[in-house]
Amino acid sequence: MTIVGARPQFVKAAAVSRALLEKGLKETIIHTGQHFDAGMSDIFFDELGIPAPAHNLAVHSLGHGAMTGRMLEGIEEILRANAPDLVLVYGDTNSTLAGALAASKLHCPVAHVEAGLRSFNRRMPEEINRVMTDHLSDILFCPTRAAVDNLKREGLERETHLVGDVMYDATLDAVRRSATRENVAVRLGLAPRGYAVATIHRAENTDDPVRFARIADWLAAAAEKQPIVLPVHPRTRALLNERRPGGKRVHLIDPLGYLDMARLLSQAAGVFTDSGGLQKEAYFHRVPCVTLRDETEWIETIDAGWNRLWTVETYRERSEIADYGEGQASLAIAGILETFLGADRAA
């Protein structure tokens, strides 16, 4: 049983779901509803061919405690009724933690995709979610060697697997699917490599007025050098409309589907974001990124010179990142799950 709730999880689940189908593993999806509007949810299921969720909890727009608690309650009820062999969770959202908690309390094995990532900033809700999920999980799928090392330091070596990054699998598929789509930048009158893409959504940036003002000023300065296309997360629309950083040089647009976003990224000159997933997607498209945070869990993108923090002026020397693999992470995950479930049933 797969549990998803947010845009990045839909993208990762699409790649893994195809691999599970190839292995003949039956998958049922629970959508927590964390991203609930059509632009952040439905379009991803439609475009990426993800099996329709069997359950939608419609839990959203609440504080962390209320959201996680209601998800936990709803997921537990579904798990009790269906008794799955394993629960699969992704990333570091409230949906991730609620799924892992519900399953572990019912003694159902948990597998975590993107295990071992650490920003070492406990003020981030995502950091708490990912650490707790790793310690609740029976199978840990790591995208990088650094993630494996993090888990070893925490005593989590059993059932830890370095599989590569499922987002790379998804990006390769999106490149193929989006090749014939019109770039939304064209409708804005922007030439290929003549614009940057930006996103802002993390609570650490949007909930602190002083910090948000600093980021808005930073974007306004960046827009003087090149236009910026900014798909607006619902939580930041009002804030950006109020400040209008960069004026007409910053193009505020509605959230994009994954394929349209892939097309936009593929022809961008730069990416400015506080999204963990977008930092990697920028690298997959070989577009330089600036992370609008004070740290990142994807340290290899900085080490390889494709990413830098907004508080740092220059990039390191550029190189390729071998850890992410060659687009076969999803098949590796499906193969490990097939073996695990086979052994479990035999026992």
Cα–Cα separations (whole angstroms), residue 52 to 13, 197, 280: 12, 30, 27
In 3D space, the residue among 215, 235, 239 whose CA is nearest the CA of residue 293 turns out to be: 215
Residue 64 lies in a domain: yes
Does 105 lie in the same domain as 79? yes
Q: What is the pLDDT of residues 172-223, one digit of tens each?
A: 999 998 989 999 999 999 999 999 999 998 888 988 999 999 999 999 999 9
Same domain, 105 and 223: no
Q: Give me the CATH number covering residue 103.
A: 3.40.50.2000
Q: Give the Cα separation of 11 and 169 in Å (integer).
A: 10
Pair (35, 144) in one structural domain: yes
Beta strands 270-273 and 289-291: pairing type? parallel
Judgement on whether residues 149 and 10 belong to the same structural domain of the protein = yes
Gap between the Cα atoms of 178 and 159, Å rounded? 36
* Listed residue (92, 130, 119, 117) closest to 294, CA to CA: 119
Number of domains the chain contains: 2
Residue 316 placed within a domain? no
Q: For residues 146 and 315, give the distance between their C-alpha atoms in angstroms, rounded to a whole number.
A: 20
pLDDT in tens, 287-304: 999 999 999 999 999 999
For residues 40 and 161, membership in a common domain is answered with yes
Q: How is residue 234 annotated by DSSP? A: G
Are 80 and 199 in the same domain?
Answer: no
pLDDT for position 67: 92
Q: Counting beta carbons within 10 angstroms of the beta carbon of residue 49, is it exposed (0 to 12), middle (13 to 18) or buried (19 or more)? A: exposed
Q: Are residues 11 and 159 in the same domain?
A: yes
Assess if residue 252 is contained within a domain.
Answer: yes
What is the extent of the structural domain holding 284? 174-309
CA 34 to chain centroid, in Å, comes to 13
Domain match, 8 and 137 both: yes
Domain presence at residue 114: yes
- On whether both 193 and 210 belong to a single domain, the answer is yes
Residue 70 scores a pLDDT above 90: yes
Q: Mean pLDDT over residues 328-337, rounded?
A: 98
Query: Is residue 250 in a domain?
Result: yes
148 assigned to some structural domain: yes
Q: Residue count of the chain, please give it.
A: 347
Catalytic residue numbers, as ranges: 201
- 3-class state of residue 169 by DSSP: helix
Whether 135 is covered by a domain: the verdict is yes
Instruction: Say if residue 123 is in the same domain as residue 232.
Output: no
Average pLDDT, the chain: 92
Claim to verify: residue 97 and residue 220 sit in the same structural domain: no
Same domain, 206 and 155: no
Specify whether the CB–CB gap between 164 and 143 falls below 8 A: yes
Partners of residue 198 on adjacent β-strands: 272
Convert the pLDDT of each residue in 125-145 to its tens digit: 999 999 999 999 999 999 999
Q: How many CB atoms lie within 10 A of CB 136?
A: 18
Residue bearing tokens 């998803």: 4
Residue 318 falls inside a structural domain: no
